[in-house]
Amino acid sequence: MVISSNLQVMDPVLAEAIKDAPKARLRRLLLEILEKHPDAITTATEHLVAAVPDVTNKNGKRVVTDNSNELPVKRRKRYDRCVQCKEEFDVKGTHMEACNWHKGELEMDDENDMWLHWTEGHGIADSEESKKAFPEGFIWDCCQRHGDAEFGCKRGPHRNEKERFEYVQRRGDDTDEDVDEEGYVEDGLGEDSEQV
């Protein structure tokens, strides 16, 4: 039996229906509930909207400060998808080395013994399906680590699509020089930054 947050016993059939419902249906239902019960808007806002420091000035340049309390705050959705590691992240909880990813592409490791007995019956060896099912048979071209390596060769903050685009615009390229596998080099401390 599932216990809801207000300690009432939830109908197990309802709990299963929620668990199995498509995301689109749950979104429509949540919007319907918010429309019928405006008092629930506060709860939804607490869980889905965050006030975070605005680290860019009106010219779009990154602002650097030792105290994030000095920065104005902006409201944004609390959870977002990182374009680097492909994971969902909480914008309130991300930090400068929260994300771990590979910059390159997986390439087939022809010297790996796992491919010795591979036949056509197994499917196409160098395919997206094989990369997911047999990552140990592939190597990242960015760092030469095996595809099943626990960590990526790049570290830095999570970035959604807009943040990634802004980062590339500030840098003038897509080299990720702010992060590497050896250590962390601070993001945005070049000529495009302003000290507060």
Q: Is 88 part of a structural domain of the chain?
A: yes
Q: Please tell me which residue, 166 or 56, carries the higher pLDDT value.
A: 166
88: domain range?
A: 38-102+153-195
pLDDT, position 51: 82
Q: Is 147 part of a structural domain of the chain?
A: no
Q: How confident is the model at residue 173 (pLDDT cuts 50, 70, 90)?
A: low
Q: How far apart are CA 18 and CA 154, in angstroms?
A: 37
pLDDT, position 3: 45
Residues 17 and 48 grouped into a single domain: no
Residues 136 and 176 grouped into a single domain: no
Residues 47 and 93 grouped into a single domain: yes
Do residues 52 and 92 touch, judged by C-beta distance below 8 A?
yes
Q: Please tell me which residue, 77 or 54, carries the higher pLDDT value.
A: 77
- Decide if pLDDT at 126 tops 70: yes
E-assigned strands of 31-174?
49-53, 62-64, 73-77, 79-81, 88-90, 99-101, 106-108, 138-140, 154-156
Tell me the average pLDDT across 8-35: 92
Q: Give per-residue pLDDT as tens, 182-193.
A: 443 433 333 333
Q: How far apart are CA 105 and CA 13, in angstroms?
A: 44
Which among 132, 130, 116, 188 is positioned nearest to 159, based on CA atoms?
A: 188
Residues 127 and 32 grouped into a single domain: no
What is the number of domains present in the chain? 3
Residues pairing with 77 in the sheet: 49
Q: Is 9 part of a structural domain of the chain?
A: yes
Q: Is 146 part of a structural domain of the chain?
A: no
Tell me the average pLDDT across 171-195: 46
Do residues 170 and 192 touch, judged by C-beta distance below 8 A?
yes
Residues 177 and 114 grouped into a single domain: no
Q: Is 145 part of a structural domain of the chain?
A: no
Residues 111 and 96 grouped into a single domain: no
Residues 87 and 167 grouped into a single domain: yes
**How remote is the C-alpha of 116 from its chain's centroid?**
36
Q: Is the dihedral of CA 83, 85, 91, 95 positive or negative?
A: negative
Tell me the average pLDDT across 76-91: 90
Q: Please tell me which residue, 148 or 52, carries the higher pLDDT value.
A: 148
Residues 58 and 98 grouped into a single domain: yes
Q: Please tell me which residue, 77 or 190, carries the higher pLDDT value.
A: 77
Q: How confident is the model at residue 5 (pLDDT cuts 50, 70, 90)?
A: low
pLDDT, position 166: 77
Indicate the average pLDDT of the chain.
79
Residues 72 and 160 grouped into a single domain: yes
